[in-house]
Structure 1
Amino acid sequence: MQALVYKGPQIVEIEEMAVPACGAHEVLIRVESVGVCGSELEGYLGHSGIRKPPLVMGHEFAGRVESLGAQVVGLAAGDKVVVNPLIACGTCTNCSAGRTNICLSRQIVGIHRPGAFADCVAVPAANVHKLPDTMDARLASLAEPLAVAVHAVKLGMRSLEDLLIYGAGPIGLLCLQAARQMGAGRIAIADIQPGRLRLAEQWGAAAIDARDFKQAYKRTFPDGVSCVIDCAGVQATREGALAAVRSGGTIVMVGLGQDRSHLDVNDLVRREIALVGSYTYSPADFEQAIELLKQGRIDIAGWTEARPLAEAPNAFRELVEGRSASAKIFLTP
């Protein structure tokens, strides 16, 4: 089979590889669509210490069951499926508390084991979810990033509260769509790319030019905003989130753009700002994401595109250089 192999910083190459062996409790998936995640772009640039070359990345994917391990039940060859790439141990303190997303020994497909930038990938059967046979594979492969967005919105926003999303990349745009479905009040999104801001306006959000953020947000939220979701995670967006949130509000940090930032902690204390980290999602979040996709509540028009896996090296370069017209690129093996 063909696979895209990360060989080192800014080096990804298409190679011929053996089809993965399928364990007794595993399923071999023939990949139909796999999204390029921002975290994989960080890996491509050499900024991710957990992605060790040579590695087949790819964790946002959907496809069809190719074959099944001897102990697998409930699935059949040819089933249309999507995969939760987060593999939890199920026995540690956090898993026992229902917080599998922060499992103490978690593994992620495409990081700790070969991923879906390939014709086929082997995964635990317990992580496989059946889909309607007619569901678009590109739409289905958004289940994982949509689950990230659902988790972040749940952590920060209560029904009818105002929400500001900082960053109109794929996670930010999915946070916007999820929040609309989950009962948000006024929603605004801040970014520097006019095309993405226009799209957000079409979906009913107020657009904020991040280049003039500290003045621009006040036109929409003159008294501050109840919740800010930072999908970028750099010094400027973290400072901006603290400036925009009202006293007693919540900042949800999703973006991992920079390891370290300086914040005015005394301001957090004196205004009782809740600062919440949001990492991946729970099984319930993943299932909720699938339902939103099945019900046709998530729009992929205007910000996504599909390309053949063979064009992946160029797609990675365009995304990291900011030359892609699309926020999300799906690769089709």
Structure 2
Amino acid sequence: MKALVYDDVETLRYREMPMPVPGRDEHLVRIEAVGICGSDMHAYLGHDERRPAPLILGHEAAGIVEDGPRNKERVAINPLVTCGACPACLSGRDNLCGTRQIISMPPRQGAFSEWIAIPGRNLVSVPDHVPLEQACLAEPIACGWHGARIGQHLLREKFDNPRVLVIGGGAIGLGSALSLRARGVSETALVEENPKRRAYLEEVSDLKVLCVEDLATDDLFDLVIDGVGLSATRALASARTRPGGAIIHIGLGEDTGGLDIRRMTLQEITFVGTYTYTSSDFAETAQAIFDGRLGALDWFESRPLENGAQAFRDIRAGNSPCPKIVLIPRGPA
């Protein structure tokens, strides 16, 4: 099969790779759409030791089952493979499974390829009216859905109608803002510093999109979601959270720096790191997409998988205004 392979730092090659062999209770899925994630970019730049070259990256995928009783079923792929039997899995927090695996990280190859093998329990059926290019957005949006759910739970007894600031206009931040709105939060501001992306989001969404300078000096928020995870964005989150409020940290841009621990302690600000999503979060996000509760979902750009290396270069250079580039193994959408 053809695949886009991470062969070395900033080196991706479109080349032949072995066909995946489904294991027990797994299906062979023909990939129809797969998004480029920030974690793929981290690996591409050599910043993720969990993803050593050579490796097929990509975990935001949708496709068509090509075997077994679910043959020809259109599916969104939950890339997080868990054991289903440990205390975390049994308590509904399967994203914290001690033996979790995720496609695009050894021992599992990713979805920048024509085919992938994945357990059947990781597949969510997609209705015919939903394009698979939109269905693959379930994965990045589910990260925001998970963070929004936890943030709402933390604030339930403190603020009836919370004001929320979301940092980052990529798919994680945008997905967080859309998830909040779908979950009934009406007052959400989105901060995006890239002027190209900010202008694009202002055009394609009805969200309030700002740069940091647009915020009043004394403007504080009940909940701040950091969808970027850089030292600078953590510093912004620390400064802009209201006393008694909460920070939900999703982004993995940098490991350290930025948090104002003194202010967070004196003002009793809660900080919660969130990782991916539970299987329930993923299913709820997919259903919200199917029901149209997350908007038009037209904020991506489709490109052929064979041109994926250029897509990574464009993202690296900040030349793509879209929050998401979706790669299509069988040609442009």
Other-structure match for 2:215: 217
Shift of 1:223: 5.0
Provide Cα deviations, 1:143-175, integer angstroms capped at 9, x if missing partner: 111111100111113563111001111111111
Specify the code of the residue in structure 2 equivalent to 1:31. Answer: I
Provide Cα deviations, 1:96-147, integer angstroms capped at 9, x if missing partner: 3321111111100111301111111111112111111342010000111111
CA distance in 1, matches of 2:219, 2:47: 37
Shift of 1:263: 2.6
Other-structure match for 1:85: 79
Matched, 1:97 2:91: yes
> Is the contact between residue 143 and residue 172 of structure 2 (CA under 8 Å) also seen in structure 1?
yes
CA distance in 1, matches of 2:169, 2:142: 17
Other-structure match for 1:300: 297
Distance 1:326 1:200, change over 3 A: closer
Shift of 1:46: 0.5
Other-structure match for 1:153: 148
Other-structure match for 1:129: 124
Other-structure match for 1:274: 270
Shift of 1:200: 4.6
Specify the code of the residue in structure 1 equivalent to 2:167. Answer: Y
Moved segments of 4+, more than 4 Å: 198-202
Other-structure match for 1:71: none
| Candidates 295, 316, 329, aligned match of 2:325 | 329
- TM superposition score normalised by structure 1: 0.91
CA distance in 2, matches of 1:182, 1:199: 24
Other-structure match for 1:185: 186
Provide Cα deviations, 1:208-257, integer angstroms capped at 9, x if missing partner: 213x3xxx3227xx451100001111111111111111100000001111
Shift of 1:207: 2.8
CA distance in 2, matches of 1:198, 1:177: 17
CA distance in 1, matches of 2:197, 2:317: 17
Other-structure match for 1:207: 209
Other-structure match for 2:312: 316
CA distance in 1, matches of 2:129, 2:258: 48
CA distance in 2, matches of 1:234, 1:115: 25
Specify the code of the residue in structure 2 equivalent to 1:95. Answer: C
Specify the code of the residue in structure 1 equivalent to 2:297. Answer: I
User: Which structure 1 residue ranges, 5 or more long, are not aligned?
Assistant: 69-74
Q: CA RMSD in A?
A: 1.7
CA distance in 2, matches of 1:223, 1:237: 16
Shift of 1:196: 3.5
Specify the code of the residue in structure 2 equivalent to 1:103. Answer: C
> Is the contact between residue 163 and residue 186 of structure 1 (CA under 8 Å) also seen in structure 2?
yes
> Is the contact between residue 315 and residue 329 of structure 1 (CA under 8 Å) also seen in structure 2?
yes
- SS class of match (1:218): coil
Q: How many residues align?
A: 320
CA distance in 2, matches of 1:263, 1:40: 25
User: Which structure 2 residue ranges, 5 or more long, are not aligned?
Assistant: none
CA distance in 2, matches of 1:45, 1:16: 22
> Is the contact between residue 186 and residue 205 of structure 1 (CA under 8 Å) also seen in structure 2?
no
Matched, 1:44 2:44: yes
> Is the contact between residue 189 and residue 197 of structure 1 (CA under 8 Å) also seen in structure 2?
no
Other-structure match for 2:197: 196
CA distance in 2, matches of 1:226, 1:247: 8
- SS class of match (2:70): coil
Provide Cα deviations, 1:26-80, integer angstroms capped at 9, x if missing partner: 1000011001111100010010111011111111111101123xxxxxx421111
CA distance in 1, matches of 2:219, 2:166: 16
Quick check: 153-162 or 278-287, which moved more? Answer: 153-162
> Is the contact between residue 31 and residue 63 of structure 1 (CA under 8 Å) also seen in structure 2?
yes
CA distance in 2, matches of 1:305, 1:59: 17
Other-structure match for 1:57: 57
Identity across the alignment (%): 38
Specify the code of the residue in structure 2 equivalent to 1:138. Answer: E
- SS class of match (1:18): coil
Distance 1:325 1:269, change over 3 A: closer
CA distance in 2, matches of 1:185, 1:317: 36
Specify the code of the residue in structure 2 equivalent to 1:217. Answer: L
> Is the contact between residue 232 and residue 258 of structure 2 (CA under 8 Å) also seen in structure 1?
no
- TM superposition score normalised by structure 2: 0.91
